[in-house]
Amino acid sequence: MSDEEDDIVLSELSNEELVQQMHDDLYDGLKDEILEGVNILLERGWAPYKVLTEALVEGMRIVGIDFRDGILFVPEVLLAANAMKAGMGILKPLLAETGAPKQGKMVIGTVKGDIHDIGKNLVSMMMEGAGFEVVDLGINNPAENYLEALEKEDADILGMSALLTTTMPYMKVVIDELKAKGVRDNYVVLVGGAPLNEEFGKAIGADAYCRDAAVAVETAKEYMSQRMHNQ
């Protein structure tokens, strides 16, 4: 099917059909179609936040479920994430202007010695999609990067990612450093990455281990509402 035909089809769909189609396009990692869909919904007067949550975040939630269940594998997830990222590129400046709800601020990064970043990027994006402000420190981060950024950004949440058995223990180094500086309890510490588990999260003194991006968002929201409550 040519792009031109795609254009006609997408813009002729009702809102409901278009959102459904965008979920399918996200699932198939079709970046151009996602960009087009986002623009059509905006032209139809949808608030950027509504486009983000109903078309993109919901679509990516479905991708996440099928990845967890072994139906999709890494390439599909990465293509879907890339398509969502493109859509968010349009929405982000608009969200800032239109004052979407704000949940809190997270500093996230892959730990020292590790340059796997697909999962971390996905978590960043889904956190942003849920209204968190995210400062992404990238890969291979020594403890001082996290500590500096947490302070400078006045963040609420620290997120650390590790995909290697050899790098996961470094998360404890970072947490111990936070403790040594007397600031551990200023932050909610979330950790993730395929080789981790809940027991490990507890053992190193994190607040929670999150199996995937959806759990990360839910957990972060819970902690933020507890924090509001306690303040």
Partner 1 sequence: MPPAMLADTALAESAVTVSIPHSTTPTILLIACGALAREILAVIECNGLTGMALECLPATLHNRPEHIPEAVREKIRAARGRGIETVHVVYADCGTGGRLDRVCEEEGVTRIAGPHCYAFFDGLDDFAARADEEIGAFFLTDFLARQFETLIWKGMGMDRHPDLRDLYFAHYDRVVYLAQTDDPALDAKARAAADRLGLRYERRKTGYGALADFVQRAASSGC
Q: Which residues bind ligand B12 (CB under 6 A)?
A: 64, 74, 77, 108, 115-120, 122-123, 159-161, 163-165, 190-195, 210, 212-213, 216
Instruction: Enumerate residues 6+ apart whose C-beta is below 8 A from 136.
Output: 108, 109, 120, 121, 124
Largest CA-CA distance found in the chain, in angstroms, rounded: 61
Hey, what are 9's tokens?
């089809």
Q: Which residues pair with 192 in a beta bridge?
A: 161
Nearer to ligand B12, 95 or 206 (CB): 206
Here the tokens at position 206 are: 């994190």
Facing residues of 106 across strands?
134, 157
Alpha carbons 5 and 14: distance in angstroms, whole number: 17
Query: Which is closer to partner 1, CB of 48 or CB of 192?
Result: 192
d(CA 175, CA 147): 10
**Residue 73 Cβ, how far from partner 1 at the closest point, in Å?**
7
Q: Among residues 146 and 200, whose Cβ is nearest to partner 1?
A: 200
From the list ligand B12, partner 1, none, pick the one residue 79 interacts with, judged by a Cβ distance below 5 to 8 Å according to partner type: partner 1
Sheet (strand 132-136) strand order? 132-136, 104-110, 157-161, 188-192, 208-209
Instruction: Give least dist CB 208 to partner 1, A.
Output: 16
User: Residue 52 binds which entry of ligand B12, partner 1, none, with Cβ cut-offs from 5 to 8 Å by kind?
Assistant: none
Nearest distance in Å: CB 57, partner 1 = 20
Q: C-beta of 75: minimal distance to partner 1 in Å?
A: 3
Cβ closest to partner 1, residue 77 vs residue 178: 77
**Closest approach of Cβ 114 to ligand B12, in Å?**
6
C-beta closer to partner 1: residue 23 or 120: 120
Q: Are the CB atoms for 36 and 6 separated by under 8 Å? A: yes
Rg of the chain over all Cα atoms, to the nearest angstrom:
19
Residue 76 interaction partner, one of partner 1, ligand B12, none, beta carbon < 5-8 Å per kind:
partner 1
Q: Which does 197 bind (CB under 5 to 8 A by kind): partner 1, ligand B12, none?
A: partner 1
Residue closer to partner 1 by CB (options 18, 125) is: 125
Q: Residue 29 binds which one of partner 1, ligand B12, none, with CB within 5 to 8 A depending on kind?
A: partner 1
Element (H, E) at 109: strand 104-110
Least Å distance, CB 186 to ligand B12, is: 17
Pairing of strands 208-209, 157-161: unpaired
208 DSSP assignment: E
